[in-house]
């Protein structure tokens, strides 16, 4: 019997899977790996931005040389044109903001969602107003169509179409009274008055 126990013990020991060897890293090893990655990323970024910096420097140097060759009048004319272009750009931005604000006001007054500002904003006030009016017509038409679709499926309840109940209100169960009240309120009132 002791042999059986030993054989079973050996079998159990043999069925265990061999453990995988796990790599163990010291803090120094981890620090070295992290530092290597940081250095790689740092070098990549430095090379990328150094190229951009060199390009900007070259453009600035070229611009400086070009301006050095210009006369005072040419420099003044170029500066004036640059300021004029900047002024026009700012003026367009301001006009765009004003048109957006006006469009928001018009949409609010029309009771339409503000999410359509950019789609309905026109080149001027008149075009914007036309766009909003047209959009409002479309929305109203869609609402009317949906209301007609929903109303077409229902038959209105009228007192003449449903027969008058044959029972007295006191002879009806509470469920029957509730059903009559909901289905035909006028008949319910008539029965209540005839007590």
Could you report the per-residue pLDDT of 169-179, keeping only the tens digit for each?
778 888 888 88
User: pTM of the prediction?
Assistant: 0.43
Sign of the alpha-carbon torsion through 41, 44, 50, 52:
negative
The top-scoring range by mean pLDDT among 8-12, 51-55, 152-156, 161-165 is 51-55
Give Cβ neighbours of residue 183 (< 8 Å, ≥ 6 apart): 157, 162
What gap in Å lies between CA 21 and CA 17, rounded to an integer?
12
pLDDT band at 74 (very low <50, low <70, confident <90, very high): confident
Comparing C-alpha atoms, which of 165, 153, 110 is closest to residue 132?
110
Whether the pLDDT of residue 156 is over 60: the answer is no
Helix-helix angle 185-193:174-183, to 10 degrees: 120
Whether the pLDDT of residue 5 is over 80: the answer is no
Which residue has better confidence, 48 or 152?
48
pLDDT band at 95 (very low <50, low <70, confident <90, very high): very high
pLDDT band at 41 (very low <50, low <70, confident <90, very high): very high
What gap in Å lies between CA 28 and CA 165, rounded to an integer?
94
Give me the pLDDT at residue 36, please.
93
- DSSP conformation class of 112: -
> In the chain, what are the domain boundaries?
29-150
* Average pLDDT taken over every residue of the chain: 83
pLDDT band at 68 (very low <50, low <70, confident <90, very high): confident
What gap in Å lies between CA 195 and CA 190, rounded to an integer?
9
Give me the pLDDT at residue 188, please.
82
Residue 70 has which token pair?
Answer: 């210009």
């Amino acid at each position: 019997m002791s042999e059986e126990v030993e054989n079973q013990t050996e079998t159990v020991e043999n069925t265990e899977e061999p453990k995988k060897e796990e790599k163990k890293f010291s803090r120094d090893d981890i620090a070295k790996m992290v530092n290597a990655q940081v250095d790689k990323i740092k070098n990549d970024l430095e090379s990328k931005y150094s190229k951009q910096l060199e390009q900007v420097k070259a453009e600035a140097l070229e611009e400086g040389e070009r301006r050095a060759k210009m006369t005072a009048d040419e420099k003044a004319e170029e500066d004036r044109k640059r300021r004029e272009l900047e002024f026009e750009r700012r003026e367009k931005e301001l006009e765009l903001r004003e048109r957006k604000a006006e469009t928001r006001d018009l949409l609010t007054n029309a009771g339409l969602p503000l999410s359509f500002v950019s789609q309905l904003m026109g080149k001027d006030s008149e075009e914007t107003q036309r766009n909003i009016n047209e959009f409002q017509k479309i929305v109203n038409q869609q609402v009317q169509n949906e209301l007609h679709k929903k109303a077409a499926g229902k038959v209105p309840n009228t007192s003449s179409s449903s027969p008058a109940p044959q029972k007295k209100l006191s002879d009806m169960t509470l469920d029957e009274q509730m059903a009559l009240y909901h289905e035909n309120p006028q008949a319910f009132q008539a029965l209540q008055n005839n007590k």
